[in-house]
Every structure is written in structure tokens, then in C-alpha cells.
């Protein structure tokens, strides 16, 4: 076993603290990565506080990981020592179900194995990127371009692919009007990516103060959702809405903004099941859909696309010992737009 160190939640609803643990030895198909940066996702908070249930403690969070490969297994063919690599939200899957065979490992019929807060095929807990190193099968490892600043690339492994995947699945682009609900870690990436594809983007926010930022990110319009006149004027005009909000909110406020056959795609997960008025769907044949992350192939495609187009997340780099304060600020929406841990601070 390989000695490792990081920060962990010892149990639910207590601060994260330094933690020593062991990683498996590098197997024939594994790569070992010295972690340089790890993004901080809102789902980290949900899971360390056991808000979704089933959390495994002690828990080392983190699934937006970039770093340098320090060792490769004897049978590794896709990576070399010294290359920059990334790890996203999962590190394995069953590999033989229809979803896995289609390159949609995130929808594995058996269940993907999460980068943290999951059990590997041997029954041991997985530990994430708030740590100095990680060992992962090369088939679940991603190539990272050195063209872009690594701190800004790290959140692409979750926030980037979570918004890129529905944009590609629904072919959002030129000729489409796309609304983005919420301008946080996910929302700011949805704006950048949808705009880069040629869509006309409208940010829907309760905070008028975010208008300038929305425009800098590439939004063409900004709608204050508390303004009834603005909402009325926009009714029936949007082809798609990407809903990134994970706090409790009212879906019925947004559905009337969609055109005939318009679709609202959910990528945020509110804590309680929302109510939906059937007439908001029936009267314009509207749809509510959901999207998770992306498979390995699509995530690599997204990373290559962002490298080609110079797209990264807007980040605030922090030291690891600031993580508990960062969580509190995230809950208040006080970050623009993603915290990223400099793992050299460990």
C-alpha cells in the first residue's frame, strides 16, 4: 500500500481535518498522479454533511482533479510519466452493460464507482482529490492540455462536463435561445459553453448585481427573475433552459419561459422534490429533462474543446486549511465562481 495524506470529514456535519490513509499499489493498468489542484464542488458539501444519505466516513472529498503522472503500470499504453492528467467524478464502472459499452459510464447499470464516497470493486472506500496523490485505472483517466492554467482547468472535470453534456445532447447552438438559471459554479460554465456554441444566452438570476459578470462571461441578456414584467416579456421565447440551481426553488416560475416543445434540463439537485404544474407542460408540449455528467469519451472531448477555445473556469485558489471557511462561503454564494485547492499547500 502507498501512504497518502489529505483532508477528510471524520463524520457528518463536522469540520474537515488532516487525515492519513493508504492508496492501493499501482496495478498493471493504473496511473499514479501527484495532485496539483482540486476543485471544490457543491456536491462535496452535500456528501460530507450526509444530505443525500448513505455517506461513508471518514470521507476525503474532491472529484475535480488535475496533476502530474509519477508512475504507470506495466501495461499502461495511454499515458506516460510526466504527463498532465485529470480525474473526474468516477474512477470505474462495470464496463460491460449497454451504457458502459456506449461510452456512457456515468449511467452504468450496475452503478459507476465514484471518485470518493463510494466502494471500489474490492469493497474498499474510495478517497478523492483533497489529497496529495491518487491511483486510477488509465481507462478512467483523462489527458489535460498544458495550454491552459491548471487551476482553471480543474473544475472542468465536473462543472464543465455537467453543462457541456446537455448542450451537446440537445444540440444547443446557433439559432437557439438558451436560458441559464443560476450563475454559480455550474451556471457560469453553462454560459461560457453555450455562448461558445453560438447560442443566444440569457442568464436568469434573482441577483441584479450579477448582470455585469453575466455579460463578461458571454451572456447576451440578463433577466431578474423577481421582476414580474421582465418574466412576462420573456414568456414563450426560450428553446432551452439549463437549470443549475441546487437550492430549493420553484420550477413553475421558469417553465412558462419556454417555447412550444421547449426543454428545461436539470443539472442541479434541490434537497426536496419540487412540485410541477401539469398545465405548464401540457399547454406548450414542454419537457423537463435531467442530465448527469459525461462519460470518459465525452469528458475528453470537452477538455479538448476547452483547450482549443481557451475556456476555463473562473476560480479562487485557496490553501487546503481554508476548506471549512470555503464551504461556508459557498453556501452563501460568496465565490466567483469555483474554489480550487492548491494541493502544494497540503
| pLDDT(4) > 90 | yes
H/E segment holding residue 66: strand 65-72
**Does the N-terminal peptide bond of residue 192 adopt cis geometry, omega within 30 degrees of 0?**
no
Residue length, the chain? 346
Dist. CA 191–CA 173, nearest whole Å: 12
Give Cα separations from 113 to 53, 108, 125, 220 (angstroms). Answer: 16, 9, 10, 39
H/E segment holding residue 33: strand 30-39
Give Cβ neighbours of residue 341 (< 8 Å, ≥ 6 apart). 37, 38, 39, 40, 62, 130, 317, 318, 319, 320, 323
* 309-314: average pLDDT: 98
Tell me: the pLDDT tens digits for 155-183? 999 999 999 999 999 999 999 999 999 99
* 297-323: average pLDDT: 98
Helix, strand or coil, per DSSP, at residue 227:
coil
Tell me: the pLDDT tens digits for 89-132? 999 999 999 999 999 999 999 999 999 999 999 999 999 999 99
Tell me: the pLDDT tens digits for 98-110? 999 999 999 999 9
pLDDT at residue 154, rounded to an integer:
98
pLDDT at residue 143, rounded to an integer:
98
Give Cβ neighbours of residue 263 (< 8 Å, ≥ 6 apart). 170, 239, 240, 241, 286, 287, 288, 289
**Torsions phi, psi of 297, nearest 5?**
-60, -45
| pLDDT(246) > 90 | no
Q: What percent of the chain is modeled with pLDDT above 90?
A: 96
pLDDT at residue 236, rounded to an integer:
98
Tell me: the pLDDT tens digits for 191-241? 999 999 999 999 999 999 999 999 999 999 999 999 999 999 999 999 999
Task: Find out whether 38 and 346 touch, Cβ atoms under 8 Å.
Answer: no
Domains along the sequence of the chain with CATH: 2-158+294-345 (3.90.180.10), 160-290 (3.40.50.720)
Q: What percent of the chain is modeled with pLDDT above 70?
A: 100
pLDDT at residue 272, rounded to an integer:
87
Dist. CA 109–CA 96, nearest whole Å: 9
Confidence bin at 81 (pLDDT 50/70/90): very high
| pLDDT(271) > 90 | no
CA atoms within 13 A on the CB side of 93: 25
pLDDT at residue 247, rounded to an integer:
87
Tell me: the pLDDT tens digits for 312-327? 999 999 999 999 999 9
Residue 67 C-alpha cell reads as 496533476
The rounded mean pLDDT for the chain is 97
pLDDT at residue 313, rounded to an integer:
98
Between the two ends of the chain, the Cα-to-Cα distance in Å is 20
Q: Is 290 exposed, middle or buried (CB count within 10 Å of its CB: 0-12, 13-18, 19+)?
A: exposed
pLDDT at residue 270, rounded to an integer:
87
Tell me: the pLDDT tens digits for 8-67? 999 999 999 999 999 999 999 999 999 999 999 999 999 999 988 999 999 999 999 999
Amino acid at each position: 500500500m502507498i501512504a497518502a495524506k489529505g483532508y477528510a470529514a471524520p463524520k457528518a456535519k463536522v469540520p474537515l481535518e488532516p487525515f492519513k490513509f493508504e492508496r492501493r499499489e499501482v496495478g498493471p493498468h493504473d496511473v499514479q498522479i501527484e495532485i496539483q489542484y482540486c476543485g471544490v464542488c457543491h456536491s462535496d458539501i452535500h456528501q460530507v454533511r450526509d444530505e443525500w444519505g448513505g455517506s461513508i466516513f471518514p470521507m476525503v472529498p474532491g472529484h475535480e482533479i488535475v496533476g502530474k503522472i509519477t508512475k504507470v503500470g506495466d501495461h499502461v499504453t495511454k499515458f506516460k510519466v510526466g504527463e498532465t492528467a485529470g480525474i473526474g467524478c468516477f474512477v470505474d464502472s462495470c464496463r460491460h452493460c449497454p451504457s458502459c459499452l456506449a461510452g456512457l459510464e456515468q449511467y452504468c447499470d450496475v452503478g459507476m464507482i465514484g471518485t470518493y464516497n463510494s466502494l471500489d470493486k474490492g469493497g474498499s472506500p474510495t478517497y478523492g482529490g483533497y489529497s496529495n496523490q491518487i491511483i486510477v485505472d488509465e481507462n478512467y483517466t483523462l489527458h489535460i492540455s498544458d495550454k491552459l492554467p491548471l487551476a482553471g482547468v480543474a473544475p472542468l472535470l465536473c462543472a464543465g462536463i455537467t453543462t457541456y453534456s446537455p448542450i451537446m445532447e440537445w444540440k444547443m447552438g446557433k439559432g437557439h435561445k438558451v436560458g441559464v438559471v443560476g450563475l454559480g459554479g455550474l451556471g457560469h460554465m453553462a454560459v461560457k459553453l453555450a455562448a461558445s456554441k453560438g447560442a443566444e444566452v440569457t442568464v436568469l438570476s434573482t441577483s441584479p448585481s450579477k448582470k455585469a459578470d453575466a455579460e463578461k462571461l458571454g451572456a447576451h441578456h440578463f433577466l431578474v427573475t423577481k421582476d414580474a414584467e421582465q418574466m412576462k416579456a420573456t414568456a414563450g421565447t426560450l428553446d432551452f433552459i439549463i437549470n443549475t440551481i441546487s437550492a430549493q426553488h420553484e420550477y413553475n416560475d421558469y417553465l412558462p419561459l419556454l417555447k412550444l416543445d421547449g426543454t428545461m434540463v436539470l443539472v442541479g439537485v434541490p434537497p426536496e422534490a419540487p412540485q410541477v404544474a401539469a398545465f405548464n407542460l401540457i399547454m406548450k408540449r414542454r419537457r423537463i429533462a435531467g442530465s448527469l455528467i459525461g462519460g470518459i469519451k465525452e469528458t475528453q472531448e470537452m477538455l479538448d474543446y476547452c483547450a482549443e477555445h481557451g475556456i476555463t473556469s473562473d476560480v479562487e485558489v485557496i490553501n487546503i486549511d481554508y476548506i471549512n471557511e470555503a464551504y461556508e462561503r459557498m453556501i452563501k454564494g460568496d465565490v466567483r465562481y469555483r474554489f480550487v485547492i492548491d494541493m502544494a499547500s497540503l
